[in-house]
Chains A and B, each alone.
Chain A
Amino acid sequence: MSEMTVRRPDQKMDEIMGLLLRTGVVLAAAIVFVGGVVYLTRHQLPVTNYRVFAGEPVELRTISGILHEALALHGRGLIQLGLLALIATPVARVAFSLFAFLYERDWTYVFVTVLVLGLLVYSLFGGHAG
């Protein structure tokens, strides 16, 4: 019984965070897999030449373009959507930590977390085409 009382204060938070991360990775992998099947069954071109860097077309490197391509059920669009879900998973974890620190009224770490979240959002939405 005494062992049961040894609960770390952040245990509940850790459990939700673990679930969040696992769900994100499984969801992303499933979308990438489905996209991969579509891509391989419909891809009639010879293998893309990865030796020469050409860069992805606009519709596969912006969030709106990827959503559009994925909704059209294009294989490459679906894979990019899965990869986007994967990139969003750690971002969601940071966002969740923000709520946890707000709940604990730990203002120092609310500030720290907002800063990290801001940097991540800047990376995803900053528009770094070039």
Chain B
Amino acid sequence: MNIKRFFAVFKARNIEFFRDKSSLGWNLFFPVLLLVGFSFIFSGDGRPAYKVGWVEESKSSQSKAQHNSFKDTRFISFIHYKDIDVAKVKLSHHTIDLVIANQSKRYWVNDESAKSYLVEKIFSEKLKSYTRLQIRGGEIRYIDWVLPGILGMNMMFSCLFGVGYVIVRYRKNAVLKRLKATPLTAFEFVSAQLLSRLFIVMFTSIIVYSGCNLLFDFFMLGRYFDLFIIGMLGAFCLISLGLLVASRSKSEELIGGLLNVTSWPMMMLSGVWFSLEGAPPALKVFADFLPLTHLVAGAREVIIEGATLVDISYHVNCLLLMSAVFLSLGAYFFSWNAER
């Protein structure tokens, strides 16, 4: 690794990005427009159904029967939690509307939530034998909830297209071929591209977050440092994925299709717009293999629940593992030109 060569490519790529006004503008204004739009569209609750947290303390047949008796009520979804504290945090943020701990015959309502009040009324007969407990907590606005998703999605597009598309364009018009004819190594080139995009993505995301924070005064329970780290790990993982997707292709049409195939499932299934709680288990398993899921979930836990990096170590480890896999495969398959 020659630092001088690496830094020259890093700098050149940054200059190219910042002088491309249309691309820079898009990266800065697109997420702002989305946030403004969603702040108007979802100024209310934004969730169509009532959600009840069901804390399963035992798996007895009696417990199952009781659960079924609750489940008979239509238009209410039941979300299973193993940890009662997690469910209570969700209730305090109005993410769910009631928590029922079946074994200990207790239930919690949020006194500040209209939905919680209504669900309690709906189940008043069935909850007669349960002890009523209260939780207080203001509602997390939809915009606070959706913020990590929109920032994550913007990062995803910037990482995938900003790296994948650019490398394929370089390969197609023989910029890579010209660089191959110099002493620059593939590792130096790829790592410069990776770190340049990481710098660009973090820079634009911080600008967007700070600017929007002035407008919306975002909720923030955790530490900004933790948010920065999970953001950086997510961006690194998505850039690695972009490098892998672009490792061999020479066709801009093909790479456009591949990047869309890669990004659309993440946009729809990574919890950008709506919570995956209550989604079918198979879908949750699939979403677990998507880097954006861990970026968004980790950032959301830091922002809304005040989680630390240790608390979100599952997401951190998943992102690190995925980055290692994507980078290894990308390096193995990388080709300067069509011939390998």
Genuine A/B complex = no
Instruction: Show the binding face of A for B, using Cβ within 8 Å.
Output: none
B contacts, CB < 8 Å to A = none
